[in-house]
Amino acid sequence: MHNTIPSVSITSYSHQGFTLVELVMVIVLLGIAATGVTSFIGLATQSYINITDRDELLANARFSVERLNREIRNALPNSVRIASGSVGSVDFQCIEFVPIKASTTYTDIPVAPESLSNVVKVIQFEREDGSFYQCDADCEDSVVVYPLNNSDVYDDQSDDTGKVFGINSLILPVPMTSELNITLDDAVVFDNESPTNRLYIVDKPVSYCLRSDQTMSRYQQYAFSSAQAIPPSPAAQYISLMANDLINIENNEAAFTVLAATLQRNALVQIKLHFSRNEEDFVFNNEVHVSNVP
Q: Where are the domains of the chain?
A: 52-97+205-289, 100-202
User: CA quadruple 194, 198, 201, 202: dihedral positive or negative?
Assistant: negative
Closest C-alpha among 169, 90, 179, 104 to residue 136: 169
Tell me how far apart the 2 most distant CA atoms of the chain are, in Å.
161
Predicted TM-score (pTM) of the model is 0.81
Q: What are the pLDDT tens digits along the chain (294 aa)?
A: 555 555 555 555 555 666 777 777 878 887 777 777 777 676 666 665 666 667 776 777 788 889 999 999 999 999 999 999 999 999 999 999 999 999 999 999 999 889 999 999 999 887 777 778 888 767 889 999 999 999 999 987 778 899 999 999 888 877 778 889 999 999 999 999 999 999 999 999 999 999 999 999 999 999 999 999 999 999 999 999 999 999 999 999 999 999 988 878 889 999 999 998 887 788 889 899 998 888
Number of other CB atoms surrounding residue 76 within 10 Å: 26
* Chain-centre distance for alpha carbon 274: 14
